[in-house]
């Protein structure tokens, strides 16, 4: 897109369609069905609707841009929520095409049901290299993507691509093994906030409060908000989530229901004129991190468990790589949920092994020995994220274990082995 393309031309539609449908696969029965006129027309209408919405998120500052001579490329992400609550991930790269004189920046966007930030960033790198030569160089690369199967977790897809002066190259696109960490980069979160500040944000998020993040850079907002939602694993944020709020939608900050919002610094005054919320300033050189708060964020988490998270986080440092952080951070936060609610399966009562279960909420809370932990859990079980988690566990056959169940078993095994040594 170009800023100002509120009614995009067919050129923009083609650019969008190419990115939108890549990795769709070839020679499938589904693709044959799409050849029918009705389906093609429906798909085009849906893409046009999505494209109009995307303009807001690719250029959240508005579309009235003056031509520029310099503009550093930037990558950010956002979430599109449909009327039925389903979410799609949007990944955007904004750049200034090569040329003489002032010109408008362009935005390239990928929409996917899958969260694969690292993989899509690599695709954008290849797109940007080709855009420096000409727009025409992008299409053969995207066609190669279209003809390739999307890699399974832990697998790699190799794509052949030609660039003048460099010849034919093999581009490797790899998906991480742990799908729940695919779209997260913890480096920005811990660069912007201290461990204590991260814990206070985590505490407010766990209790599903209204939280606004303020920053100058779009990438900072999207990376921090996505990182915060991953800290909730195995729970999923159920309320409004807009990692970059377009200027035209800024009134969403007045919503009385829980939200996670990313707001650009230029709109901060409009976003902070609210009460009963947490406003987190991520900007460099800020005077204070928490512009507004409820005042109890540092006391929400049980003290002992909070100290254990801090101790686990001390294994990282300023020079920790993305891989190290993706190991250290989940290992710090996941045990918190294992220790607070990891006994949930004992309190799902079933008439038969694979029958729908019923969660015994009162007995579940009573089983917690620590008073401070019980006090926290009594609040946590009232959240929508916990309620949905329990509903899914009630419906799941007792014989079926998920990733969280395996982590609970691993944790208890480790504790038993540790006890034997002492």
> Can you name the residues that pair with 111 across neighbouring β-strands?
90
Residue 88, SS3 per DSSP: strand
Separation CA 383–CA 235 (nearest Å): 10
User: What pLDDT does residue 407 have?
Assistant: 87
Separation CA 271–CA 252 (nearest Å): 9
Peptide bond just before 388 cis, omega within 30 deg: no
Ranges of CATH 3.40.50.11500 domains, the chain:
181-312
Run of H or E including 361: helix 361-366
Lowest-confidence region among 13-17, 311-315, 374-378: 13-17
User: Which is more confidently placed, 21 or 331?
Assistant: 331
User: What pLDDT does residue 320 have?
Assistant: 86
Distances (CA, A) of 52 to 27, 91, 109, 225, 247: 30, 15, 12, 24, 15
Separation CA 61–CA 402 (nearest Å): 41
CATH level 2 (architecture), domain 181-312: 3-Layer(aba) Sandwich (3.40)
User: Which is more confidently placed, 97 or 114?
Assistant: 97
Q: Region 144-168: what's the mean pLDDT?
A: 84
Separation CA 400–CA 226 (nearest Å): 28
What long-range pairs does 22-26 form, CB within 8 A, spacing at least 24? 22/110, 22/123, 22/142, 22/145, 22/146, 23/145, 23/146, 23/148, 23/149, 23/150, 24/146, 25/149, 25/150, 26/146, 26/147
pLDDT > 70: percent of the chain = 86
Max mean pLDDT range (54-58, 123-127, 267-271, 306-310): 306-310
Q: Is the pLDDT of residue 188 over 90?
A: yes
Q: pTM here?
A: 0.78
User: What pLDDT does residue 78 have?
Assistant: 87
> At which residue do the structure tokens 């859990």 appear?
377
């Amino acid at each position: 897109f170009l800023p100002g393309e509120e009614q995009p031309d067919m050129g923009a539609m083609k650019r969008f369609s190419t990115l939108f449908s890549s990795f769709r696969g070839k020679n499938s029965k589904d693709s044959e069905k799409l050849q029918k006129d009705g389906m093609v027309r429906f798909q085009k209408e849906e893409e046009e609707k999505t494209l109009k919405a995307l303009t807001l998120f690719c250029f959240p500052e508005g579309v009235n841009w003056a031509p520029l001579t310099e503009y550093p490329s930037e990558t950010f992400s956002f979430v599109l929520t449909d009327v039925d609550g389903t979410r799609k991930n949007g990944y955007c790269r904004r750049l200034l095409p090569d040329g003489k004189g002032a010109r408008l920046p362009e935005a390239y966007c990928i929409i996917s049901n899958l969260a694969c930030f690292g993989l899509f960033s690599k695709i954008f790198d290849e797109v940007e290299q080709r855009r420096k030569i000409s727009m025409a160089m992008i299409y053969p690369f995207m066609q190669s993507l279209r003809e390739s199967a999307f890699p399974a977790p832990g697998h790699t897809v190799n794509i052949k691509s030609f660039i003048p002066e460099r010849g034919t190259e093999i581009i490797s696109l790899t998906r991480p093994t742990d799908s729940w960490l695919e779209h997260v980069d913890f480096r920005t979160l811990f660069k912007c906030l201290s461990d204590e500040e991260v814990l206070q944000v985590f505490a407010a998020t766990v209790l599903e409060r209204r939280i606004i993040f303020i920053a100058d850079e779009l990438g900072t907002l999207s990376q921090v908000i996505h990182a915060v939602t991953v800290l909730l694993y195995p729970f999923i944020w159920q309320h409004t989530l807009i990692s970059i709020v377009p200027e035209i939608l800024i009134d969403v900050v007045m919503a009385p229901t829980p939200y996670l919002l990313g707001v650009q610094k230029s709109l901060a005054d409009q976003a902070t004129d609210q009460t009963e919320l947490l406003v987190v300033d991520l900007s460099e050189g800020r005077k204070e991190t928490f512009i507004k708060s409820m005042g109890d964020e540092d006391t929400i988490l049980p003290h002992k468990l909070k100290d254990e998270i801090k101790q686990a986080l001390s294994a990282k440092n300023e020079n920790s790589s993305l891989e190290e952080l993706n190991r250290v951070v989940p290992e710090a936060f996941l045990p918190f949920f294992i220790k607070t609610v990891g006994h949930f399966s004992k309190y799902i009562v079933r008439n038969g092994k694979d029958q729908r279960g019923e969660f015994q909420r009162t007995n579940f809370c009573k089983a917690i020995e620590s008073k401070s932990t019980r006090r926290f859990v009594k609040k946590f079980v009232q959240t929508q994220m916990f309620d949905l988690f329990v509903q899914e566990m009630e419906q799941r056959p007792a014989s079926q274990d998920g990733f969280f169940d395996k982590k609970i078993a691993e944790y208890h095994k480790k504790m038993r082995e540790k006890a034997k040594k002492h």
